[in-house]
Structure 1
Amino acid sequence: MGDSTNIIVGTAGKAYSAPVGSTFPLGPEVPWGASFGDMGFVTPDGLEEALAEERTQLDAWGEDAPVIDLAKKRTQTFKLTFRETTAGLLSLYYQVQQAKMTATAAATGKKQFVSFGTGSLADTVEIALGLDVIMSGKLHRIMIARAGVTDRGAIKHSADDSSNYELTFTALAAPGGAQSVQHFITDVTLPEVDGG
């Protein structure tokens, strides 16, 4: 019989970014370290997580079904739409290092502004990405050691909605051979393993 307490509803969440190589928390309720910064408001669409796989099947003479099914590549993606316009999100959307952005201070009668150019394929912006999904009293923490933006939605400037940044992050190979993606999920028990 089913158990309704196992049903997950992601009612809220947060996204955090840090430099690649930053140390992740050691549990789902451990605070994020000082190197992780809040990426701001996310639209009510929440987080869309996807796992795609490329597989190779090996056949054998006289067999009518594959004898080996090998995973060649697994690609994990995480899609979020952010509402705020910040230097960090501009950097990720336009693939411009923040060090290459120029800040001009406010002057009498003039507002402060940031400026940058785009178009260089040499610029690659990668981050360590942390995600907290809060759901029905449970917490699902996802930690991506190295992530890059591999897809972007169009930015719409209109009176109907905020100018949002729809970003799809792809988990990349982690530095030093570490796990590329780690999950912590509270209130999920493993079945007992029969040692006999």
Structure 2
Amino acid sequence: MGDASNIIVGTAGKAFAAEVGATFPTGPEESWGTGWTDMGFVTPDGLEEALEEERTQLDAWGEDAPVIDLAKKRTQTFKLTFRETTARLLSLYYQVQMSKMVSTPSATGKKQFVSFGSGSTADTVEIALGLDVIMSGKRHRIAIARCGVTDRGAIKHSAEDSSNYELTFTALAAPGGLQSVQHMITEVVLPEAS
């Protein structure tokens, strides 16, 4: 019989960013620690996680089914829509290193502003990404060692909604041969070995 306590409904969540190589928390209940910054409000759509596989099947003479089924490539993506306009989100959306952005301080009667150029394919912005999906004390934490933005939604500037940043992150090979994506989920019990 099923157990309703095993159902996770992502009623809340957070996204955190750091430089590639940052140290991840050791468990889903630990704080994100030094170097991690909160990426701000996410729309109620929450997180969309997808895993796609490219597979190769090998046949054998006289067999009516493949004898080997190999995974050639696994691509994991994570899609979120952010509400806030921050330097980090502008950097990710427009693929501009924050070090190439210029902040002009406020002057009498004028507001501070940030400026940058976009359109160059020479810039690539990669980050470490931390995601928390939270429901009634349960937590599904996803730690992505290295990722980049591979798809973006259009930014709509209107009186109907905020100017949102829809970003799809793709997990890339992790530095030092580590796992590119690590999942930590509270209150899931492994069955006893028989």
Tell whether the structures are fold-level matches, with TM greater than 0.5: yes
Query: What pairs with 1:99-110 in structure 2 (closer than 5 Å)?
Result: 99-110=99-110
SS in 2 for 1:161: coil
In structure 1, list runs of 5 or more residues that go unmatched: none
State the Cα distance separating 1:58 from its structure 2 match: 0.2
2:56 aligned residue: 56
Alignment match, 2:2? 2
Q: Indicate the residue corresponding to 1:85 in structure 2.
A: 85
1:112 offset after TM fit, Å?
0.3
Cα displacement string for residues 11-31 of structure 1 (whole angstroms, at most 9, x for unaligned residues): 000000000000000000111
**TM-score, normalised relative to structure 1:** 0.98
Given the two structures, how large is their TM-score scaled by the length of structure 2?
Answer: 0.99
Identity of matched residues, %: 83
Contact 1:125 1:148 in 2 (8 A): yes
1:123 corresponding residue in structure 2? 123
Q: CA deviation at 1:97?
A: 0.1
Aligned to 1:29: 29
Deviation of 1:33 after TM superposition, in Å, equals 1.3
Q: How well do the aligned residues superpose, as a CA RMSD in angstroms?
A: 0.5
Match of 2:188 in 1: 188
Q: Which amino acid is the alignment partner of residue 130 of structure 2?
A: G
Q: Contact 1:10–1:136 (CA<8 Å) still a contact in 2?
A: no
How far apart are residue 4 of structure 1 and its match?
0.6
> Alignment partner of 2:92: what SS?
helix
Mapped partners of 1:129, 1:69: distance in 2: 31
Stretches of structure 2 lacking an aligned partner (at least 5 in a row): none
* CA distance in structure 2 between the partners assigned to 1:118 and 1:8 by the alignment: 40
Moved >3 Å (runs of 4+): none
For 2:191 and 2:146, the matched residues in 1 are separated by 32
Find out whether 1:174 has 2:178 as its counterpart. Answer: no
Number of matched pairs:
194
Distance (whole Å) between structure 2 residues aligned to residue 174 and residue 131 of structure 1: 17
Counterpart Cα distance in 1 of 2:121 and 2:99: 16
